[in-house]
Amino acid sequence: MKRLSLLSVLLRKSLFLLLVILLQHAASAEEVVLLYTGQTHAMIYTCSCPLEKDGGISRRATLVKEMRQKYPDLLLLDAGAFTAGGPLDEFTQNSQLDMQRSKINFKAMEMMRYDAVNIGNDEFNFGRDFLEKEAVNSGIKFLSCNINKSKSILPYMIKKVKGTRIGIIGLTDLGAMPKAQGLEFVEPVAALKNTITKVRKEADIIIVLSHLGESGDLSLINNVPGIDVLISGGLQTGKEPFVKVNSTLMLRPSWQARKLNKAVLDIGNKKITKFSVDDTRLSDKIKDDAEILKIMPDCFSGANCKKEGFIGQCIEPGTMNSKCKFEKAQQVNITVIKPKDCVTCNTEGVLGFFKKVFSNLKIINIEYPGKQAEEIIASVKPESLPLYLFDESIVKDEAYVKLKNSIMQNGKYYVVDPKFSGFSYFLGRNKAAGQRDLFINLFEKDAASVLEAVKEFNPAVHFFASENEKAAGGSNAYQEEEYMRAVCIEKYYPQDFWDYITCRSKNIYSSWWQDCLGKLDPNKISACARSAEGKELLDKNSGLTKELKINFGPTFLMNNQEIFGIKGAPNKEELKSIIK
């Protein structure tokens, strides 16, 4: 009994000490909230998107104010390319108007109380003097650690958030040099290494605002130690809002700030112990900030003057006297023929595009099969659906000239080329209920994820063979050799075929293909693949690919009629809703 009592006391003491330690850790942990943008290109109005017209500085300002109510100590940062002009600015017009739009954007960012912005290539679109003047007059810190001899651009700044000292460093791509007369540029990696060494003496956490592009940013992370967070402001290749590389959190801002990105960092012992990343759409559900609206002209061009059924013109663009003038647009008629039971025949994107092009578009939807649809199909003789047909009204619209190469006249109809609009359903093919075919290139990076996701649907697998010139760095001969081994396994060991191709796709460039065989006979497979039999099996496997002229993948064919592509690693639940 005494032993049990002693153990009980020791256990209670241990639990008490553990609780004290946990409470001390919780008390010492700091929460740092980042709001960040990048690649906005001074898009002060909402985007010209056909469906979700998101973005705009007045909505962003409203959301930032709301966030500040919840997180008074938040950091607001921009990773670069916040200036108008250049090839990526879809609203660019001329130097005078682009410069004026940039000034309005700078003022709005100052009103939102941005802490720091990074210098990207586009910040020099109007020369060094323009940027330096705006930076001097701004309450925002303009940063770049690899630009020297500037009176207004700082290499870094330190911001104390609660008890945590945050070092924020800017980094500029050397492509900005030709536009930045008189400024001295330093090689980015060397400049960043030197700056981090200095900043580490003053800061607990280091955030890098980079405009090197994603490949350059990944190289930075792998070659420069000490980066806690990197906000990538250049051209991005990844789709996810963040990626963890080694110990560095790399954040990807939303294009044109159509969303406001947020990262919450838990800081303990001068390290990020936990983080979360999310974003909020700047949709029409967010009210415009009244103070920002006071500094915004009504329009800079007709692109900012949108009204359904009308053509908009901007009078006195870019001034506070600007206004939109509207005239009734000529009605353009489009007929859409869509299969009744086609799950993947989504016409919203294409019609959204045409609504953007034609201000007064009348849409007539016809279901197939049906008498009217069948009469039109008999006349036009298309090979696939959905089918988009304009009547002669399109010829009277000035936009027709721009689309003429993608529209073919066929009798009284002006038919949109399927190569332009895409298609999801083959006409003239007999329905084979329950038949599923997957067209895939094992050399694509997501091939393994695709195979694992679709395995339970048991599709017939068709490889991309000799039609491809190259596949992810491999030659045609290498591809064919790989695929001939696979089709030989499918013939002689059908129960092991799926596991083999999944295994190979995870390390397709390894020459050790035998590692994926398990107990299968490598000699038997090699003999088949090297003989005429292997070539015949591969020709048979790729026959449907050639017949349907499929030149991209992964692609799924259902019931021998409905076809759709897969991007990235598919979600099983989404596939289940499509594949029935």
pLDDT in tens, the chain (580 residues): 444 455 455 456 555 555 444 444 444 578 999 999 999 999 999 987 767 889 999 999 999 999 999 999 999 999 999 999 989 998 999 999 999 999 999 999 999 999 999 999 999 999 999 999 999 988 899 999 999 989 899 999 999 998 899 999 999 999 999 999 889 999 999 999 999 999 999 999 999 999 999 889 999 999 999 999 999 987 776 678 999 999 999 999 999 999 999 999 999 988 999 999 999 999 999 999 999 999 999 999 988 998 888 888 999 999 999 999 999 888 999 999 999 989 899 999 899 889 888 889 999 999 999 999 999 999 999 999 999 999 999 998 888 988 999 999 999 999 999 999 999 999 999 999 999 999 999 988 889 989 998 999 999 999 975 444 343 344 567 889 999 999 999 999 999 999 999 999 999 888 899 999 999 999 999 999 999 999 999 999 999 999 998 888 799 999 999 999 877 666 777 777 777 6
436-578 shares the fold of 331-426: yes
Question: How many other C-beta atoms can be found within 10 angstroms of the C-beta atom of residue 565?
Answer: 14
Name 426's bridge partners. Answer: 384
Angle at 125 between CA 121 and CA 128, to 5 degrees: 90
Residues 6+ apart with CB under 8 A from 263: 33, 34, 36, 229, 242, 249, 251, 275, 276, 277
Answer for the pair 123, 130: CB distance below 8 angstroms, yes or no. Answer: no
* Superfamily for the 436-578 domain: Glutaredoxin (3.40.30.10)
Buried b (16+ CB within 10 A) or exposed e, 475-505: eeebbbbbbbbbbbbbeebeebbbbbbbbbb
**331-426 CATH:** 3.40.30
CA separation for the pair 579, 239 (Å, rounded): 25
Q: SS3 letters for 300-349? A: CCHHHCCECCEEEEEECCCCCCCEEEEEECCCEEEEEEEECCCCCCCCHH
Angle at 292 between CA 289 and CA 298, to 5 degrees: 105
Answer for the pair 274, 63: CB distance below 8 angstroms, yes or no. Answer: no
CA separation for the pair 172, 213 (Å, rounded): 10
Enter the tokens of residue 457: 């649907």
The secondary structure of the chain in percent helix, strand, coil, rounded to multiples of 5, reads 40, 25, 35
3-class state of residue 460 by DSSP: strand
Domain 26-293 has CATH 3.60.21.10: yes
Answer for the pair 260, 63: CB distance below 8 angstroms, yes or no. Answer: yes
Containing 479, the helix (H) or strand (E) segment is helix 476-492
Phi, then psi, of 360 in degrees rounded to 5: -125, 75
Answer for the pair 545, 460: CB distance below 8 angstroms, yes or no. Answer: no
Answer for the pair 230, 253: CB distance below 8 angstroms, yes or no. Answer: no
Question: How many other C-beta atoms can be found within 10 angstroms of the C-beta atom of residue 163?
Answer: 9
CA separation for the pair 455, 502 (Å, rounded): 10
Q: Where are the alpha helices (DSSP H) in 39-172?
A: 57-70, 95-111, 128-137
Q: What is the pTM of this model?
A: 0.68
Name 555's bridge partners. Answer: 439, 565
Residues 6+ apart with CB under 8 A from 197: none
Phi, then psi, of 213 in degrees rounded to 5: 90, 160
Whole-angstrom CA distances from 187 to 147, 154, 177, 181, 365 are 9, 16, 11, 17, 58
Tell me the domain boundaries of the chain: 26-293, 299-328, 331-426, 436-578
Closest C-alpha to 49, from 277, 254, 298, 290 = 254
